[in-house]
Amino acid sequence: MSESEFLNHAPCSECNSKDNVAVYSDGHGHCFGCGAYFHNYQNEEKPLTKVNTNLIKGENKPLVKRCINQETVNKFNYQIGKHKGKTVQIANYYDNHRNLVAQKLRYPDKTFQWLGDSKKATLFGQNLWRDGGKLVSITEGEVDAMSLSSIQNNKWAVCSVKTGSAGAKRDLQQQIEWLEKFETIVLMFDNDEAGNTAALECAKLFSPGKVKISQLPLKDANEMLVKGRVQELIDCMWGGKSYRPDGIVAGTDIFETLIKEDNRKCIPYPFECINTKTLGMRRGELVTITSGTGQGKSQLCRHIAHQLISKGECVGYLALEESVKRTALGVMSIDLKKPLHLTKEGISKDDFRNSFNRTVGSGSMYLFDHFGSTESENLLSKIRYLVKGLGVRWVILDHLSIIISGLETHDERRLIDMTMTRLRSLVEGTGIGLILVSHLRRPDGNRGYEDGLQTSLNALRGSHAISQLSDQVISLERNQNDEENKNYTTVRVLKNRHTGNTGKCGTLYFDEDTSCFVETKGTNDF
Q: Can you give the residue range of the structural domain that contains 117? A: 70-244
At 525 the pLDDT is 45
CATH code, domain with 46: 2.20.25.10
Tens digit of each residue's pLDDT, the chain (526 residues): 345 666 777 887 766 666 777 777 777 777 766 666 666 776 554 444 344 458 999 999 999 999 999 999 999 999 999 998 999 999 999 999 999 999 999 998 888 899 999 999 999 999 999 888 999 999 999 999 999 999 989 999 999 999 889 899 999 999 999 999 999 999 999 999 999 999 999 999 998 889 999 989 999 999 999 999 999 999 999 988 887 776 677 787 778 878 876 667 899 999 999 999 999 999 999 999 999 888 999 999 999 999 999 999 999 999 988 899 999 999 999 999 999 989 999 999 999 999 999 999 999 999 998 754 456 667 888 899 999 999 999 999 998 887 776 555 567 788 888 889 999 999 998 999 999 999 888 887 777 888 888 999 988 877 688 999 999 999 999 998 898 999 999 999 999 999 999 999 999 999 999 999 999 975 444 4
Q: How far is CA 311 from CA 6, 306, 315, 366, 373, in A?
A: 80, 9, 11, 16, 31
On whether residue 257 sits in a domain, the answer given is no
In a domain, 258, yes or no: no
**Among 194, 226, 244, residue at a domain's last position:** 244
Domain membership of residue 116 (yes or no) is: yes
Asked if 239 and 288 sit in the same domain, the reply is no
CB 12 within 8 A of CB 21: yes
Q: Which residues contact 244 (CB under 8 A, 6 or more apart)?
A: 250
pLDDT, residue 47, reads 45
Same domain, 20 and 124: no
First to last CA, the chain: 103
Q: What is the pLDDT of residue 45?
A: 43
- Whole-angstrom distance, CA of residue 436 vs CA of residue 298: 10
- Within this chain, do residues 199 and 161 fall inside the same structural domain, yes or no? yes
Domain count within the chain: 3
Q: What is the pLDDT of residue 444?
A: 77
Pair (44, 80) in one structural domain:
no
Residue 474 and residue 456 in contact, taking contact as beta carbons nearer than 8 Å: no
Within this chain, do residues 22 and 136 fall inside the same structural domain, yes or no? Answer: no
Is residue 259 in a domain?
A: no
**Vertex 113: Cα angle to 108 and 115 (nearest 5):** 130
Please tell me the distance from the alpha carbon of residue 485 to that of residue 482, in angstroms, as a whole number: 5
Question: Is 35 in the same domain as 86?
Answer: no
What's the pLDDT at 146?
96
Residues 464, 385 share a domain: yes
Would you say 93 and 104 are in contact if contact means Cβ atoms under 8 Å apart? Answer: yes
- Looking at the fold, whether 33 and 74 belong to one and the same domain comes out as no
324 and 237 both lie in a single domain: no
DSSP 219: S
Do 231 and 85 lie in a common domain? yes
As a whole number of angstroms, the distance between CA 506 and CA 492 comes to 7
Task: Give the Å distances, CA to CA, from 423 to 345, 366, 463.
Answer: 41, 19, 14
**Position 303 in a domain:** yes
**218 and 314, same structural domain?**
no
| 357 and 410, same domain (yes or no) | yes
**Distance from C-alpha of 159 to C-alpha of 137, rounded to nearest angstrom:** 6
pTM: 0.58
Gyration radius from the chain CA atoms: 34
pLDDT score recorded for residue 373:
46
Closest CA to 143 of 159, 120, 121: 159
Q: Look up residue 25 and give its DSSP letter.
A: T
Residue 90 inside a domain? The answer is: yes
CATH code, 124? 3.40.1360.10
Q: What is the CATH number of the domain that holds 508?
A: 3.40.50.300
Contact 412, 266 (CB under 8 A): no
**Quick one: residue 332, left, alpha or beta (phi over 0 = left, psi -120 to 50 = alpha)?**
alpha
